[in-house]
Amino acid sequence: MTLFRLDASIRTEGSTSRALGDIVETEWSAVHAGAEVTRRHVGTDPVPADSWADAVAASATPESERTAAQVAAVALAAELTDELAGADALLFAVPLYNFGVSQHFKSYVDLVLTDPRMAPGAVPATVGKPAVLVTVQGGNYSAGTPREGWDHATAWMRRILEDVWQLDLEVVTREFTLVGVNPALDQFTELADELRVRAEEQAAQHGRTLAAMPKAA
Ligand SMILES: Cc1cc2nc3c(=O)[nH]c(=O)nc-3n(C[C@H](O)[C@H](O)[C@H](O)COP(=O)(O)O)c2cc1C
């Protein structure tokens, strides 16, 4: 059994998405002791920003005429896709940045989508695999809040992971991670604690579900 784990936080110390991802991973590893975990840290070791354009250009260029950059981009897309195709379970931990999807996660997804095994419209190499998306937000964009609708990341990530990659997806969201960091949010301390506990419980529960799910055919 293999777990593929991607982290998109730009920090390694104090990262709440990594902490929630750790909870999921710990539950998965408790069931699959000693099993391999393949990791991608796209926030701290990004996919090169020009790889996607090179891979797209390569797809319209005969193999014998491709530039070195195009060959490298196609090879990287294949390597990333091999990681997804070779995993039995998938875990993505992606924070909200600037009201949208992490640029590093977007670059990663864009490059993966250039591989013929993952192209929109094809039956993806990930079809039916169990997966968990952990996402964290400094603020709170849930229904009825003043900034409801400002989270432009989660819907896109769901669209890719659930509909394009056809994963069997569970999502854990932790809001208000900036409470305790930004004094303007001090009034939400109690609520933020409740949201943290709830997210941690959900992460543990989804980690157990991820571990229990049968391998996709
Ligand atoms: C450059 C930057 C931009 C951010 N933009 C937003 C934002 O638009 N909305 C939000 O709710 N939080 C935003 N945050 C807060 C992060 O989502 C929050 O700190 C989260 O916990 C980061 O993930 P991590 O704890 O795993 O590092 C931003 C943080 C940084 C560093």
Closest-CA residue, ligand 1 atom 15, reads 138
Residue 98 CA to ligand 1 centre (angstroms)? 7
- Widest CA span in the chain: 62
Sequential pLDDT tens for the chain (217 residues):
999 999 999 999 999 999 999 999 999 999 999 999 999 999 999 999 999 999 999 999 999 999 999 999 999 999 999 999 999 999 999 999 999 999 999 999 999 999 999 998 889 999 999 999 999 999 999 999 999 999 999 999 999 999 999 999 999 999 999 999 999 999 999 999 999 999 999 999 999 999 997 665 5
pTM of the model: 0.97
**Does ligand 1 come within 6 angstroms of the Cβ of 13?**
no
CB 102 within 8 A of CB 8: yes
Q: How far is CA 64 from CA 58, 61, 70, 79, 157, in A?
A: 10, 8, 11, 20, 35
Residue 73 CA to ligand 1 centre (angstroms)? 29
